Amino acid sequence: RARRQSGGHIAFFESSMGDIARKRFDIERELRLAIAKGELRLYLQHQVDTQGQVCALEALVRWAHPVRGLVPPGEFITVAEESGLIIALDNWVLTAACQALAQLAAAGCPISIAVNVSPKHFAQDDFVDTILATLEREGASPNRLLLEITEGLLLDKFDEARAKMAALSEAGIRFSIDDFGTGYSSLAYLKQLPIHELKIDQSFVRNLPGDKNDGALVDTIISIARHLGLAIVAEGVETKAQQHFLAERGDLTLQGYLFARPMPAQAVIDALVHIPAQHA
Ligand code: C2E
Ligand code: MG
Ligand code: MG
Ligand code: MG
């Protein structure tokens, strides 16, 4: 039975039978076909500076399902991850993001795009080659690509992870730690890896400025980032009060519905290209 979620989406895969294995199998089969049929869509969400100017974009995938409409990743990323389909999905998004970068660069808009990388994708032996080959094939600059990874991905095979990050970093690609502060890893990795940016998880932003504990955690994350010379993005900014709290902390990048929802890539590109003042 369909159930309403907080985001207003229908959780159409939720089954009242509780037959989880069956449900997963159905999503997996449908998703495999969807990737082949070209049903994935690239959405882009603005990241803005404290002046409200767009300074970067995050690539967020959507599934344009012929019957169920636009499906958000929360409904299929876990199954994609468990089935290995995430590698094809991530590669599709990477290619689309690189095409967007090439289009933006051709129009003289030097903006970066952050792409989410799943642990399984990152763990592939050919991960580094795939990223570099895709950039090259699509004519996109490595200097405009950020890869968003999560702390969990660093938990095993740390030396391998470090070698991959070093190789990509040398090519000009930057790394961002997504959902920072929600993982279980030690902080030691921050000084051992070529990391450009920390993204403060939206769970810490949600109850600002009222929640003193969340405020303290946000201040602590900002302090860690500043001491290590890392850039900071706060995600999930929905209210003026949250924006104000964060803007008072100085130079941060903000991302959230207050500024823009994720929107179809082409619409975002067209708007940026036609309003030069926004990215001057
Ligand atoms: P994430 O990378 O942490 O992305 C941020 C999520 O927060 C996105 O959800 C975005 O739409 C949402 N968001 C942005 N601003 C606000 C706000 O003001 N309030 C609230 N409540 N939410 C906001 P989305 O697009 O549903 O994606 C969910 C997660 O799915 C992402 O979290 C990411 O972990 C994963 N994902 C999305 N696209 C990809 C992809 O191409 N590859 C992989 N591996 N994972 C992806
Ligand atoms: Mg992300
Ligand atoms: Mg995040
Ligand atoms: Mg998140």
Q: Which atom of ligand 1 is nearest to the CA of 6?
A: 21
Q: Which of 178, 187, 152, 190 is nearest to 236 (CA)?
A: 178
231-267 per-residue burial string, b: 16 or more CB within 10 A, e: under 16: bbbbbbbeeeebbebbbeeeebbbbbebbbebbebee
Q: Residues 125-134: pLDDT tens digits?
A: 999 999 999 9
User: What's the 261 CA to ligand 3 centre distance in angstroms?
Assistant: 14
Query: Confidence class of residue 26 from pLDDT cuts 50, 70 and 90?
Result: confident
Query: Confidence class of residue 2 from pLDDT cuts 50, 70 and 90?
Result: very low
On the question of pLDDT at 4 being above 50, the answer is no
Q: Is the CB of 75 under 6 A from ligand 1?
A: no
- Rounded Cα distance between 51 and 261, Å, is 18
- Rounded Cα distance between 91 and 89, Å, is 5
172 contacts 143 by C-beta, under 8 angstroms:
yes
Query: Confidence class of residue 14 from pLDDT cuts 50, 70 and 90?
Result: low
What is the average per-residue pLDDT within 167-194? 93
User: What's the 58 CA to ligand 2 centre distance in angstroms?
Assistant: 7
Q: Which of 168, 83, 78, 85 is nearest to 130 (CA)?
A: 168
For residue 184, the model assigns a pLDDT of 76
- What ipTM is given for this predicted complex? 0.98
- Rounded Cα distance between 209 and 219, Å, is 12
Cα separation of the two ends of the chain: 49
Q: Is the CB of 238 under 6 A from ligand 1?
A: yes
Q: Residues 182-223: pLDDT tens digits?
A: 987 788 899 999 999 999 999 999 999 999 999 999 999 999
